[in-house]
Amino acid sequence: MKQAARLVAALGLVAAFATVQAQGNVEYWCWTEHCAVAQALKPSFEAQNPGHTLVITELGPWDLHDKLLIALASNTGAPDVALLVQRRFRQYIESGRLLDVTDDFGTLEEEYPPSVWEIVTANGQIYGLPYDQNPGVLFYRRDLLEQAGVELPIETWSEFVEIGRELTGDGRYMTWQFVPGGGWGVAFYTMFLQSRGGNVFDADGAVIRNNELAADTLCFYQSLGDIALQTENNSPDFFVALKEGNLLTYANPTWGLYRVKQLAPELSGTWDAQPWPLWSEDAEPFTGAWGGNVVTIPAQSRNPVGAKAWVEFLAASTEGQSQVWQVGGLVPAYQPTLATDAVLQPDPFLAGTVIYEQAIASRTLPVFNYFNWAQAETIIGNHIDRMFAGDYATCGAAWNAIEAELAATFQ
C-alpha cells in the first residue's frame, strides 16, 4: 500500500513537471527554410524571453497543414505556433479553433501592407500575423537579352510577349509555364490577375460574375503558351533549360531566385531582376503574389504567453523579419524591415543588384481575396488544363466554364 502510494506520488510529480515544462516550451511547426529562420533566431528569442524554450518541429508543408487540421478538429495535439500558407489561412480561421489575438496585435496594422494584413483578419478580429509577402519579380538572363539587343527593363507585358515571339525558338524559351499545372498553374495565373487588380471572389466571398478582367487575363495566360516552356512542376525539362541557357526569364517571387541559385550556381552574374512589367504604360504599379505565409496560434496552445512572444518576435520585429530575408530568401511582411541594411544588401548572384530596391520597391500588392481557395484552385486548375488541351473553342469559353462551376459550388 505504501509502495503504491509512493508510485502514485512519483507519477504525479512527473506529470506536474511535464506540464510545467510544456508551459515553458513554445512548440513551433514550420518547414525547410522557415525552420532554418527559426533556428537562427532561437538563441536571441530565448535570451530575450527567459523561461520560454523554443521547440522547432520541422514538417513537410502540406504534412503540417494536414496534421494541424487534425489537431484542430480533435482539439488536441496542436503546437503553440504554426506557420501556414496565406491562401489556405481563411479556411483555418473558419474552423473557429485559432486564438483571437486582436487585443495583442491590433495596433500593428499600419506596419503591414493591406494585401497581407487582410489575410489574417476576419470579421474585424485578428488570428495571426503575416510572416512574409511574395511579390512577383521578373528575373531575366541579362547577358542573353542584351546580346539579342533587347532594351531593358521590359516595361509592359505586351512588350514582353513581342520580345518573346522574336526570341523563342530552336529550343529557347522566353518564359516557363506549368502545363498541366493544377494548383501550381493556378498560382501562376493568379499572379497575373492580382497584378491587374483583379480577383475571383469579392470581399464578401461571392464569386465575381461576368469577370471580364479574369477572362482577359486567362487569354493572356493562354497566349504565353506560344513563348513558354510548358512543363509540369519539378520537371527535369525546366532544370535542363535553365542550365543550358534556354530560359530567358523567370517571372516569380524571390523564392524562385533561391531555386535558380541552388540548381545553377554556375550562372551567377548572368541573371538580373526588374520590376513586374505593367499592363499598360499608365497602369497601376501592381505586382502579383505567389505564396506567402502567416504565423498563427491555435486556441489550444498550452503556452499562449510564450506563443504570442514568439509570433511577435518572428513576425513583428526587424530582428526576426531580417532573418526571413537573409536565411529564408523571402520578402519580409513587416514593413520597417524593408528599410534596414539586412534587406538592402547587393546580391552577388545578380552581379550586385539590390533586389528590393531595383525590382520590388516600385510595386505594390493589391488585395486578393482567398475564399475556399483549395477547392477554387482545383476547379480553376482543371479548367486551365482543359483549355490547354483544346477542350474550349476560346479562352473566354474556358473562363465562363470556370465561373459557372465556381458559382455552382459556392452559391
Q: Report the residue from 69, 213, 219, 344 that binds another protein according to the rule CB under 8 A.
A: 69
Q: Report the residue from 33, 104, 162, 385 that binds another protein according to the rule CB under 8 A.
A: 385
Of the pair 31, 313, the CB lying nearest another protein is at: 31
The reply to whether 386 sits near another protein by the rule CB under 8 A is yes
- 180 upstream amide cis, omega within 30 of 0: yes
Binding-site string for another protein from residue 92 to residue 131, where x marks contact by CB under 8 A and - marks none: --xxxx----------------------------------
* Residue 322 to residue 328: CA distance in whole angstroms: 9
Of the pair 183, 396, the CB lying nearest another protein is at: 183
Cβ at position 354, least distance to another protein in Å: 35
Q: Report the residue from 183, 245, 291, 396 that binds another protein according to the rule CB under 8 A.
A: 183
Cβ atoms of 195 and 279 closer than 8 Å: yes
Cβ at position 350, least distance to another protein in Å: 27
Of the pair 72, 193, the CB lying nearest another protein is at: 72
* Residue 297 to residue 58: CA distance in whole angstroms: 17
The reply to whether 390 sits near another protein by the rule CB under 8 A is no
From the list 281, 214, 295, 287, the residue with the least C-alpha distance to 34 is: 295
* Residue 55 to residue 42: CA distance in whole angstroms: 9
Q: Select the span of 89-97, 279-287, 325-333, 337-345 touching another protein (CB under 8 A).
A: 89-97
The reply to whether 11 sits near another protein by the rule CB under 8 A is no
The reply to whether 374 sits near another protein by the rule CB under 8 A is yes
Of the pair 48, 375, the CB lying nearest another protein is at: 375
Cβ atoms of 264 and 242 closer than 8 Å: yes
Q: Report the residue from 15, 66, 165, 407 that binds another protein according to the rule CB under 8 A.
A: 66
Q: Report the residue from 30, 41, 59, 65 that binds another protein according to the rule CB under 8 A.
A: 65
* Bridge-based pairing state of the strands 121-122 and 125-126: antiparallel
Cβ at position 384, least distance to another protein in Å: 9
The reply to whether 231 sits near another protein by the rule CB under 8 A is yes
The reply to whether 330 sits near another protein by the rule CB under 8 A is no
Cell numbers at 9, concatenated: 506520488
Of the pair 255, 392, the CB lying nearest another protein is at: 392
Cβ at position 239, least distance to another protein in Å: 9
Cβ at position 76, least distance to another protein in Å: 13
Burial zone of 318 (CB within 10 Å; 0-12 exposed, 13-18 middle, 19+ buried) = middle
Partner residues linked to 275 by β-bridges = 137
Binding-site string for another protein from residue 15 to residue 44, where x marks contact by CB under 8 A and - marks none: ------------------------------
Q: Report the residue from 240, 299, 327, 404 that binds another protein according to the rule CB under 8 A.
A: 240
Of the pair 69, 354, the CB lying nearest another protein is at: 69
Q: Report the residue from 91, 223, 268, 340 that binds another protein according to the rule CB under 8 A.
A: 91
Site residues, another protein (CB under 8 A):
65-66, 69, 72-73, 88, 91, 94-97, 179-183, 231-232, 234-237, 240-241, 372, 374-375, 378, 381-383, 385-386, 389, 391
